[in-house]
Structure 1
Amino acid sequence: MRILLVDDDELLAQRLAEFLASQHYVVDVVFDGEAGWSYAQATTYDLIVLDINLPKLNGVQLCQKLRQARYSSPILLLTAQGDSSDKVVGLDAGADDYLVKPCTLTELSARIRALLRRPSTLVSPLLQAGDLSINPNTCEVTYQDQLLVLSPKEYSLLELFLRHPQRIFSSTVILEHLWNFDDTPGEETVRTHIKRLRRKLKAAGANTIIDTVYGMGYRLQAPPPPAAPSPPARETAATGLPPTAANPRETTIPELDLPGPDPKDEARQAAIALWEKFKPPILNRLISLDQAVAALRSGELSEALRQTAAGDAHKLSGSLGMFGFPEGSRLSQAIGRWLRPPTVSSENAGQLEALVAALRQELQKLPQSPAETPPLPAAAPTDPDQPPEPDPPPRRPPDLSIKVLAVDDDVTILETLQMLLPRWGIEPITLSNPLQLWEVLASEVPDLLILDVDMPDINGIDLCHLIRNDDLWNGLPILFLTAHREPQIILKLYSAGADDYVAKPFAEPELMTRIFNRIERNRLLQTWRKPSP
């Protein structure tokens, strides 16, 4: 469980952080209200602990701002002001609880556990999955009443799965939940902890508690279906023969191990067919790059042509990787950098021309199997601790209708989403003109909005700002799909109110996982907000 602690008393904050870390919480610490707001926008916390007397933005103001932005996680106020009026102000601002300093660490820990239990429907404080049980009060894990000794990260990982038994967690999301910003390792660390946790569970007799969902991540194993009842003994007693012998028609035909089509060849053919469909409009984008090179050599590159060429390079960098040209995506990114001021100049025309020529040559090759090629069924690897492999899309429940509106001026991206989303049970709505967004929102009422950053007339970040300030649509989940990877751009996305972002070129399982997680979270929040009958 991840906690944000906002307190300007550095010594106290350090002591609280150390104590909470000893209770297996992941803690981020900041010392003013504005930093607390930025951190809360950058990631999802299970709970926020706020001091009231904070510099720049006090705790009550920060609490109000978070609630106005539809932030739903529990908020605990910490302050030395114990008057009833102060408590009323804090609770009216949206806080879930109020603790007066000085307080004991055990009381703070108890308040935090109580707040973290509130969204759950569990009557018991224990988290259970079959014979496996976690007691968050004592941080003890047992399987069939046998005590398991886990490391702090192994405990936190298992607690995360038991608190969200139906959710699939990618390695990236696990890192966001269990490591703070100052100590975030690579995804290999997640696989290592999963492997160690599985080994300890297996040693205790729990062999398959954690499932690998290939291409998406990990989740708690669903309970096994009930065994089919055995046929009554009297049906076989009449003949004294097993069922298949009693009825000659009920024979078992052995499965023949016949060689089937090679999945790699099928994926490659699908990639080539997809490339042939989108090849003409993509190659047309090279025209503006050639024109920019020629104008740059003659010293007559206009600002309008530079912007057009830079925009086409940006679009190519976001789409070529999905069509099986990762090197083409890298070359397009390099071309886009050369076309930015002050890099663009006649002295650099040679380097830019070489990059465009290399890009054109790269696109004469056959594509590799792209990330968005429909995944083919494959046998699961023998080692469940190997990195997840692509898996066929899961079937969506027939009663779960999902609409996703994608706004992007890159038509190839929109057409790709139109082909991709229906395979996952999602109805795609695409829009290339961002100025028509409000009209389409009103007519279609989507469950999630996908935005690009760079678009004509109005960019995606400004659109996100407008949506978050709109009383009707400010709760709509927003996911950015962009070729931008610069930290300052990503920070702007979250500051504008984005829920998540995926970088182009994107992998289909990652995009689908993030879409489903956001929609599921939003629907759960709507359920929790409904008044009890």
Structure 2
Amino acid sequence: MRILLVDDDELLTQQLADFLVSQLYTVDIALDGDSGWNYAQAADYDLIVLDINLPKLNGIRLCQKLRQAQYSKPILLLTAQGDTSDKVVGLDAGADDYLVKPCTLNELSARVRALLRRSSTLSDPILRSGDLCLDPSTCEVSYRGQLLSLSPKEYGLLELFLRHPQRIFSSSSILEHLWNFDDTPGEETVRTHIKRLRRKLKTAGIDTLIDTVYGMGYRLQPPSAETPDTEKEALRNEVRQAAIALWDKFKPATCRRLISLEQAVAALQLGPLPEPLRQTALVDAHKLTGSLGMFGFPEGSRLSQAIGHWLKTPNPEAVSQLQALVVALQAELQTSPQPSEAMQPPPLAKTQDISSSLSPASKPSLSSNAPLKVLAVDDDRAILEVLQTMLSRWGIEPITLSNPLQVWTVLAQELPDLLILDIDMPDLNGIDLCKLIRDDDTWNGLPILFLTAHREEDTVLKIYRAGADDYVAKPFTEPEVMTRIFNRIERNRLLQTWRKPSSRQ
């Protein structure tokens, strides 16, 4: 657990910090109110301890400022001012508790444990997972009555997972919780400590307690948390039915795109392909490449991609090749859709808290309650609807937009955490829009992910040169897209953290 101490008494603060570190907490120190504010913005602290009489920004004002910024974790006021009126002012400012100096270190430790327990909604002071017990008051871990010998960081990892059993922690988030600013190693260190902790737990008889979520991080795997097979099958059927219903809804639009391909074949049989018809057919082929795989027609997506390649450099002498591809595509769309892994449910039994895999500091404000927002801009409404369903399942608020010219208005209104763009859109293509956003002082730091049917090397290079952060080819799979989204938001948070000015002591 990570604690921030804000106090200008360097001797006392160092003494408190040393004691808390001996209790296996990670501690940062700020010697004035402004530095305390900067630290609070730069990291996800589990608790903040404030003195009232601070230079630059006093503790009462700092406490108010933190609460106004939606910081929801505990705040403990530690001060020599013990009058009742002073306590009332402190509590009214948003503090959770008030401790008068001088105080004993044991009393401070007890108050800290109580506040941390209250913030994690745990009534029992002992953290448990099955027969595994962790006692924060003694820093002891036992399994079925036998004590386990853990290093301070191994203990910190286990406590972090036990306090937040529904949360996924990325390696960078673990570093943020368990290492201070002056002693932050690389992510390989996290993997090493996870491996050692697993080995010690296995030696004690606990085989699977810490689960790896591919591409995202680590989470607690509670005993008997495996979803029953009947529930898994019910969930798969639900997703399958949702995909079929979505296909029924957008089948007419898909058939209209198929008509333009048929018209291109008919025109080629009579002579050279008119350029407007070629462009229309090429755009429709790209749209079909991206959407058919999402509806459970992976072969249809492959055929559409081949048609698109042919239309880029049409050869009138090989029109029979194009005709064969279009006929095969027509036949494919007469079959029933088979939802692919692109429409499969997330790999966790419960997904309502998945967005909490990112720390609250990764969001636009310090609020841990504000949902992540993703803005998707694509003129293909079928893709937008798939994204809307997918993002909602992972606890993300989806914002969809089919007209790229409205993006500036929506950005200002919604303040998204990430932007998804397609390339081929009317009036303004995604690459040009990406360039405009990167040239804008307000939005040039917004993570941008492209979802497109284009796979050509020169197009991908244009995407990155325009300022995109990432690229996923359509048709895409849900785990891949969600992993990229979470990773990009997390990396953007880290960049913002280290770009923030702070006077670290």
Q: TM-score band (shorter)?
A: 0.5 to 0.7
Q: Does residue 1:60 correspond to 2:25, yes or no?
A: no
Q: What residue number does 1:175 align with?
A: 175
Q: What residue number does 2:231 align with?
A: none
Q: What residue number does 2:29 align with?
A: 29
Q: For each residue in 1:194-216, what CA deviation from the matched residue of structure 2 results, as whole angstroms up to 9, or x when unmatched? A: 11111111111112111122222
Q: Does residue 1:430 correspond to 2:400, yes or no?
A: yes
Q: Does residue 1:504 correspond to 2:469, yes or no?
A: yes
Structure 1 residues 404 and 416: CA distance shift in structure 2, 3 A? farther
Structure 1 residues 509 and 195: CA distance shift in structure 2, 3 A? farther
Aligned partners of 1:400 and 1:19: how far apart in 2? 34
Tell me the amino acid that sits aligned with residue 21 of structure 1.
Answer: V
Aligned partners of 1:271 and 1:4: how far apart in 2? 53
Q: What residue number does 2:347 align with?
A: 394
Secondary structure (helix, strand or coil) at the match of 1:123 reads coil
Do the aligned partners of 1:3 and 1:25 also contact (CA within 8 Å) in 2? yes
Secondary structure (helix, strand or coil) at the match of 1:63 reads helix
Q: For each residue in 1:379-402, what CA deviation from the matched residue of structure 2 results, as whole angstroms up to 9, or x when unmatched? A: xxxxxxxxxxxx984367699999
Do the aligned partners of 2:216 and 2:487 also contact (CA within 8 Å) in 1? no
Q: Does residue 1:104 correspond to 2:104, yes or no?
A: yes
Q: What residue number does 1:124 align with?
A: 124
Q: What residue number does 1:144 align with?
A: 144
Q: How does 1:131-280 map to 2 (within 5 A)?
A: 131-224=131-224
Aligned partners of 1:222 and 1:43: how far apart in 2? 28
Q: For each residue in 1:11-52, what CA deviation from the matched residue of structure 2 results, as whole angstroms up to 9, or x when unmatched? A: 222111111111111111111111111111122110000111
How far 1:123 sits from its partner (Å)?
2.8
Greater CA drift, 416-425 or 269-278: 269-278
Q: For each residue in 1:351-380, what CA deviation from the matched residue of structure 2 results, as whole angstroms up to 9, or x when unmatched? A: xxxxxxxxxxxxxxxxxxxxxxx9899xxx
Do the aligned partners of 1:451 and 1:460 also contact (CA within 8 Å) in 2? no
Q: Aligned pairs, how many? A: 332
Q: What residue number does 1:500 align with?
A: none
Secondary structure (helix, strand or coil) at the match of 2:154 reads helix
Structure 1 residues 19 and 481: CA distance shift in structure 2, 3 A? same
Q: What residue number does 2:237 align with?
A: none
Structure 1 residues 99 and 399: CA distance shift in structure 2, 3 A? closer
Do the aligned partners of 2:374 and 2:419 also contact (CA within 8 Å) in 1? yes
Q: What residue number does 1:10 align with?
A: 10
Aligned partners of 1:152 and 1:399: how far apart in 2? 32
Tell me the amino acid that sits aligned with residue 505 of structure 1.
Answer: D
TM-score by length of 2: 0.56
Tell me the amino acid that sits aligned with residue 410 of structure 2.
Answer: L
Answer 1 or 2: which has greater helix percent: 2
Secondary structure (helix, strand or coil) at the match of 2:447 reads strand
Unaligned runs of 5+ in 1: 229-268, 280-373, 378-390, 465-478, 484-502, 518-533
Structure 1 residues 461 and 393: CA distance shift in structure 2, 3 A? farther
Secondary structure (helix, strand or coil) at the match of 1:118 reads helix
Tell me the amino acid that sits aligned with residue 436 of structure 1.
Answer: T
Q: What residue number does 2:447 align with?
A: 481
Tell me the amino acid that sits aligned with residue 394 of structure 1.
Answer: P
Secondary structure (helix, strand or coil) at the match of 2:133 reads strand
Q: For each residue in 1:331-351, what CA deviation from the matched residue of structure 2 results, as whole angstroms up to 9, or x when unmatched? A: xxxxxxxxxxxxxxxxxxxxx
Aligned partners of 1:275 and 1:172: how far apart in 2? 38
Structure 1 residues 451 and 5: CA distance shift in structure 2, 3 A? farther
Aligned partners of 2:306 and 2:197: how far apart in 1? 46
Aligned partners of 2:109 and 2:75: how far apart in 1? 14
Do the aligned partners of 2:226 and 2:349 also contact (CA within 8 Å) in 1? no
Tell me the amino acid that sits aligned with residue 71 of structure 1.
Answer: Y
Do the aligned partners of 1:142 and 1:148 also contact (CA within 8 Å) in 2? yes
Structure 1 residues 153 and 146: CA distance shift in structure 2, 3 A? same
Q: For each residue in 1:394-453, what CA deviation from the matched residue of structure 2 results, as whole angstroms up to 9, or x when unmatched? A: 367699999975458x879x9998766644536732344354238965xxxx9x653699
Q: How does 1:267-416 map to 2 (within 5 A)?
A: 393-394=346-347, 405-407=373-375
Tell me the amino acid that sits aligned with residue 347 of structure 2.
Answer: P
Tell me the amino acid that sits aligned with residue 418 of structure 2.
Answer: I
How far 1:512 sits from its partner (Å)?
4.7
How far 1:142 sits from its partner (Å)?
0.1
Q: Does residue 1:19 correspond to 2:19, yes or no?
A: yes
Secondary structure (helix, strand or coil) at the match of 1:20 reads helix
Tell me the amino acid that sits aligned with residue 193 of structure 2.
Answer: H
Structure 1 residues 92 and 276: CA distance shift in structure 2, 3 A? farther
Structure 1 residues 462 and 438: CA distance shift in structure 2, 3 A? closer
Secondary structure (helix, strand or coil) at the match of 2:115 reads helix
Percent of paired sites with the same residue? 58
Unaligned runs of 5+ in 2: 229-298, 310-339, 356-370, 421-432, 450-467, 472-479, 491-505
Q: For each residue in 1:481-514, what CA deviation from the matched residue of structure 2 results, as whole angstroms up to 9, or x when unmatched? A: 259xxxxxxxxxxxxxxxxxxx922774544547
Q: What residue number does 1:256 align with?
A: none
Tell me the amino acid that sits aligned with residue 206 of structure 1.
Answer: I
Aligned partners of 2:111 and 2:308: how far apart in 1? 57
Aligned partners of 1:150 and 1:272: how far apart in 2? 53
Tell me the amino acid that sits aligned with residue 31 of structure 1.
Answer: L
Tell me the amino acid that sits aligned with residue 400 of structure 2.
Answer: T
- Larger relative CO (CA 8 A, sep 6+): 1 or 2? 2
Do the aligned partners of 2:20 and 2:27 also contact (CA within 8 Å) in 1? yes
Aligned partners of 1:450 and 1:44: how far apart in 2? 20
Tell me the amino acid that sits aligned with residue 202 of structure 1.
Answer: K
Aligned partners of 2:106 and 2:153: how far apart in 1? 22
Do the aligned partners of 2:168 and 2:354 also contact (CA within 8 Å) in 1? no
Structure 1 residues 53 and 64: CA distance shift in structure 2, 3 A? same
Aligned partners of 2:19 and 2:303: how far apart in 1? 58
Aligned partners of 1:278 and 1:17: how far apart in 2? 64
Do the aligned partners of 1:215 and 1:509 also contact (CA within 8 Å) in 2? no
Aligned partners of 1:129 and 1:401: how far apart in 2? 20
TM-score by length of 1: 0.53
